[in-house]
Amino acid sequence: MPEVAKVDPFVHAHFTARAARYNESSHWVTDPDLGAMTFRLLGTTPESSVLDVACGTGLVSRLFTGKVARLVGADITQAMFDQARPYVTELVETPGESLPFADNTFDRVVCRQGIQFMRDGEAVAEMLRVLKPGGRVVLVHLCAYGEEDRAEYFEILRLRNEARRNFYLREDLDRLLTRAGFTHVAVHDYISVEDVDVWSNTGAIEEAAREGIRAVYRDASPAFQRLHASQVLRADAAGGSPGAAMAVRIVDNMLFGLAVGEKP
């Protein structure tokens, strides 16, 4: 096992602040279709041992509760993973870059929206190490669609969460798994339709940052608008009074990449 990695205090503070409202912070966090796709791609059996890295409040873990033999949640934020206790066999407080498990321990590893806060190459290498030969990993992460929307979308993600270390295209997830040594790597798409004002209301960012996010959408390039099918719906256009013209509802088709790999 590697030397224990230090907990990033910025990430820890951010998710401590978000813990109380995390489960209502976005449509995707409890989206049954995204959950079903994650479950299907991980391919567990009743005999499987599963590790959920960056388990948070247990929203991914609960997909597997009662359906696998062992279910371990790993996270660094006590206020988040206290909520996961009903769903897992055990909880371990640990950074993803230094998992406190022996080599070849788990049949499956899943991580949703976690590695962007980590030294991702180290974290993915650890996932490979703790998997048994033939084991499978699934990473689920928001991605830009491509070079056309990359700069604008990465700025939106940065404003939403300054604790974020990494920003991804789908090919970045493929590259991470391939470089770590995974085989049969494939990235699957899932589109989540999100109300941006809800998605940005995390409880951990200032209103100025939320307004910065709105500004990026209001001024978005035609390519960004096309790829995200984004809509800025003003109150007067939706039947409200002319005096409420600055009130907006922003809707974005956000792309998730679900990257799957197997340990040789």
Question: Distance between CA 216 and CA 182 in Å, rounded?
Answer: 36
Mean pLDDT, residues 158-179: 95
Q: How far is CA 207 from the centre of its chain?
A: 22
Sign of CA dihedral 56, 4, 17, 189: negative
Q: What is the sign, positive or negative, of the torsion defined by CA atoms of 219, 222, 194, 41?
A: negative
Q: Which two tokens stand for residue 119?
A: 């030294």
Lowest mean pLDDT among 21-35, 44-58, 165-179: 21-35
pTM: 0.90
On the question of pLDDT at 241 being above 50, the answer is no
pLDDT-based confidence at residue 1 (cuts at 50, 70, 90): low
Q: Which amino acid is at 256?
A: F
Q: What is the mean pLDDT of residues 218-245?
A: 73
Please enumerate in sequence order all residues whose Cβ is within 8 A of that of 222, keeping only pairs 6 or more positions apart, or say none: none
pLDDT at 165 over 70: yes
pLDDT at residue 16 tops 70 = no
**pLDDT value for 74:** 96
User: For residue 141, is pLDDT > 60?
Assistant: yes
Q: Sorting pLDDT into bands at 50, 70 and 90, what band is 13?
A: low
Span 54-81, average pLDDT: 94
Q: What is the pLDDT of residues 27-39, one digit of tens each?
A: 888 999 999 999 9
Asked if residues 251 and 196 have their Cβ atoms less than 8 Å apart, the reply is yes
Query: What tokens appear for 12 in the block?
Result: 């820890």
Distance (Å, whole) CA 15 – CA 207? 17
Residue 242 confidence (pLDDT): 47
3-class SS string, the chain: CCCCCCCCHHHHHHHHHHHHHHHHCCCHHHCHHHHHHHHHHHCCCCCCEEEEECCCCCCCHHHCCCCCCEEEEEECCHHHHHHHHHHCCEEEECCCCCCCCCCCCEEEEEEECCHHHCCHHHHHHHHHHHEEEEEEEEEEEEEECCHHHHHHHHHHHHHHCCCCCCCCEHHHHHHHHHHHCCEEEEEEEEEEEEEHHHHCCCCCCCHHHHHHHHHHHHCCCHHHHHHHCCEEEECCCCCCCHHHCCCEEEEEEEEEEEEEEECC
Residue ranges and CATH numbers for the domains of the chain are: 9-193+254-262 (3.40.50.150), 195-251 (no CATH)
The larger pLDDT score, comparing residue 178 to residue 197, is at 178
Provide mean pLDDT across the span 178-201: 95
Please write the tens of the pLDDT for every residue from 78-131.
888 889 999 999 999 999 999 999 999 999 999 999 999 999 999 999 999 999
Q: Is the pLDDT of residue 247 over 60?
A: no
